[in-house]
Amino acid sequence: MDGTRKYLKSASIRHIQIPQYETLTLKEMLGFLQQHRQVLQYLPIAKEVVKLPKQFVANVIYTVVGDPFADWVKERVEARNAKIVQVQNLAIDMDPDVYAAFANSTAISSKLLLIFFIFDIITIFLVHAASKGVGADLCKVGSKRRRTRQEILDHREEERLKQEGMEGKLAQIDALTQRC
């Protein structure tokens, strides 16, 4: 390479999720770059790269290299998870046919996901429509929960008793001032 640097527009950056695993450190990703040296044109000089956030470097690599990097990350994650299962004895005993079906099933049906989504929307609408000012509405500045009729009557009674108490104290003060 001739040492010239290239840049990526922020609109063209592809993002990838990188978990915090020992097998996915910045050093490991820089090792991956030995096979894909074209990425180095988009990164600063080597001694500055180690100062960059790992997520930034991963996004640049994923943007330039693409799916081979995503496959490499997936392999690292699966290897780490398999190691953890083996070391901590987290595997469960089940029929091999059932385990094979379970292992091949990585997602739920999109139809089922749509049903759950519609159910959530309906539930939120019904709960919000039937509520008396509870939940998220109370998080708004200056919002108050509606009081029940009994709470209003109790509050009026407290105010009346407080007023009577103050009138009694004022009467005592008047009596003391008249004696003096």
Residue 148 lies in a domain: no
Same domain flag for 61 and 99 = yes
Q: What is the largest CA-CA distance in the chain?
A: 105
Instruction: Give which of 152, 132, 156, 155 is closest to 144, Cα–Cα.
Output: 132
Same domain flag for 91 and 116 = no
Instruction: Tally the domains of the chain.
Output: 2
The model's confidence at residue 100, banded by pLDDT at 50, 70 and 90, is confident
Task: Specify the higher pLDDT residue, 106 or 29.
Answer: 29
Segment 10-27, tens digit of pLDDT: 888 888 888 888 888 888
Q: Which residues lie below 8 Å from residue 107, measured CB to CB, with a gap of 6+?
A: none
Same domain flag for 71 and 122 = no
Q: Could you tell me where the beta strands, DSSP code E, fall in the chain?
A: none
**Mean pLDDT across the stretch 141-164?**
86
Domain enclosing residue 46, as ranges: 10-104
Half-sphere exposure (Cβ direction) of 173: Cα atoms closer than 13 Å: 6
Same domain flag for 84 and 35 = yes
Same domain flag for 67 and 118 = no
pLDDT of residue 37: 84
Residue 23 lies in a domain: yes
Residue 33 lies in a domain: yes
Residue 160 lies in a domain: no
Segment 48-59, tens digit of pLDDT: 888 888 888 889
Same domain flag for 97 and 124 = no
Same domain flag for 128 and 82 = no
The answer to whether 76 touches 54, Cβ cutoff 8 Å, is no
Q: Which of 66-80, 87-101, 102-116, 157-171 has the lowest mean pLDDT?
A: 102-116
Q: Which residues lie below 8 Å from residue 29, measured CB to CB, with a gap of 6+?
A: 54, 57, 58, 61
Residue 168 has pLDDT above 80, yes or no: yes
What is the pLDDT of the chain when averaged over all its residues? 79
Burial of 29 (0-12, 13-18, 19+ CB in 10 A): buried
pLDDT of residue 148: 86
Residue 129 lies in a domain: yes
pLDDT of residue 175: 87
Same domain flag for 15 and 50 = yes
pLDDT of residue 135: 56
**Mean pLDDT across the stretch 55-69?**
90
Long-range contacts at 41-50 (CB < 8 A, ≥ 24 apart)? 41/1, 41/4, 41/5, 41/6, 42/5, 42/6, 42/7, 42/8, 44/5, 50/26
